[in-house]
């Protein structure tokens, strides 16, 4: 069994300040973990993924995430927010049956000018 909890439904930051989107997971297996972004009326875009290699994962658009097994966390960060980062972000876990992914409820990121 697997599950994922995104700890914040909404996060608001000012442009140029750091972004932190929190995600905790539960899995009976060694999980693969992903972050996706969904802009309004657009499709899902993969930001980054963890698949048991390096625990610090770098993704697109300056985002990165750190896999912490002891804390069962996979938080997404970015040093400096840009207006174009405003979107919905989903943390996703999948197990050995790749593709049967479990999505978190999503975090809406708002970036203020």
Partner 1 sequence: SAVISQKPSRDICQRGTSLTIQCQVDSQVTMMFWYRQQPGQSLTLIATANQGSEATYESGFVIDKFPISRPNLTFSTLTVSNMSPEDSSIYLCSVLAGALSEQYFGPGTRLTVT
Q: Which residues bind partner 1 (CB under 8 A)?
A: 34, 43-44, 46, 49, 51, 90, 94, 98-106
Q: Considering only CA atoms, which of 99, 87, 80, 111 is closest in space to residue 34?
A: 99
**Contact between residue 58 and residue 106 where contact means Cβ atoms under 8 Å apart:** no
Q: Which is nearer to partner 1, 15 or 38 (CB)?
A: 38
Nearer to partner 1, 22 or 49 (CB): 49
Q: Is the dihedral of CA 56, 19, 92, 69 positive or negative?
A: positive
- Least CB distance to partner 1 at residue 38 (A): 9
Q: Which is nearer to partner 1, 46 or 83 (CB)?
A: 46
């Amino acid at each position: 069994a697997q599950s994922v909890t995104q700890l914040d439904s909404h996060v608001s930051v000012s442009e140029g300040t750091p972004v932190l989107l929190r995600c905790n997971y539960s899995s009976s297996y060694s999980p693969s973990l992903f972050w996706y972004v969904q802009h309004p009326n657009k499709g899902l875009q993969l930001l980054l993924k963890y698949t048991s290699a390096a625990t610090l994962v770098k993704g697109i658009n300056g985002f990165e995430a750190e896999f912490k097994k002891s804390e069962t966390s996979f938080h997404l960060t970015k040093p400096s927010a840009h207006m174009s980062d405003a979107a919905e972000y989903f943390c996703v876990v999948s197990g050995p049956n790749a593709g049967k992914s479990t999505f978190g409820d999503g975090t809406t990121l708002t970036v203020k000018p």
